[in-house]
Amino acid sequence: MAARRTALREAGRRRRQRRRRGLAILGVAALVGLAVWIAWPAVNHAVHQIELPLHHADIIRQQARAKHLDPALIAAVIYAESKFRQQTSSAGAQGLMQLLPGTAEAIARRSGATRFNVADLGTPQVNISYGSYYLRLLIDHYSGDVTLAIAAYNAGEANVDRWVAAARREGQPPSEASIPFSETRAYVHKVLSVQRDYRASYPRELGYR
């Protein structure tokens, strides 16, 4: 009888230990879950900044207002050109919006800038200001057609003017599909797609609300 009572007590003790271990595991799991829930917005934001970065939002908003542009369009062009990294291309295009020095100098003269220095293209304020000015010029040149303006930002006005003239000779409206350069078609598609992504992902940062 004593042996049986001892065995029962031992079995009860083991059950209590298992329950305590189970509760401890549940407690740890709950704490981990709570920590993930608390940290998730920051983690999600960090991942999002890698996949779809946005920097200099204040400058983008300012230039969008000044040039009457969609801020998401400016952000999308920066993404397509440099992914918000300061760099110089093999063709000599510089800065966030990858402006050629000759183009930037012409913009500086046309916009009334007091001086032009190529080194200034490495400054986000100057680069985004000139790039936004150029975008506005292109949109106006193509009577508000953003698709053609984006194509010209990539391939140059002379090429796009030829494509537009060829499309009209054939009685077709110029469109993304009618762009003969595959690189420029892909560029236009990327900018328009990423523009939508920036609107959806950064409404507060870009001043939509």
Residue 81 a catalytic site member: yes
Share of the chain above pLDDT 70, in %: 85
Nearest to 200 by CA among 52, 68, 65, 69: 52
Q: What phi, psi does 101 have (nearest 5°)?
A: -55, -40
The pLDDT value given to residue 156: 96
Would you state the pLDDT for residue 42?
44
Write the DSSP assignment of the chain as a string of letters.
Answer: -HHHHHHHHHHHHHHHHHHHHHHHHHHHHHHHHHHHHHHHHHHHHHHHHHHS----HHHHHHHHHHHT--HHHHHHHHHHHHTT---B-TT--BTTTTB-HHHHHHHHHHHT-S---GGGGGSHHHHHHHHHHHHHHHHHHTTT-HHHHHHHHHH-HHHHHHHHHHHHHTT----GGG---HHHHHHHHHHHHHHHHHHHH-TTTTT--
Q: Is the pLDDT of residue 104 over 80?
A: yes
- Are residues 162 and 152 in contact, defined by beta-carbon separation less than 8 angstroms? no
Structure confidence at residue 22 (pLDDT): 72
Give the distance from CA 137 to its chain's centroid.
22
pLDDT at 27: 73
Mean pLDDT of 38-65: 76
Q: What fold is seen in the domain 57-201?
A: Lysozyme (1.10.530)
What's the pTM value of the predicted model, to 2 decimals?
A: 0.78
> Residue 77 in contact with residue 135, Cβ under 8 Å?
yes
pLDDT tier at 102 (50, 70, 90 boundaries)?
very high
The mean per-residue pLDDT over the stretch 135-154 comes to 98
**Cβ partners under 8 Å of residue 61, min gap 6:** 71, 206, 207
Between 190 and 49, where is the model more confident?
A: 190
- Domain positions in the chain: 1-51, 57-201
> Catalytic pick from 10, 51, 81, 183?
81
- Report the mean per-residue pLDDT for the chain: 88
Beta-bridged to residue 88, according to DSSP, are 94
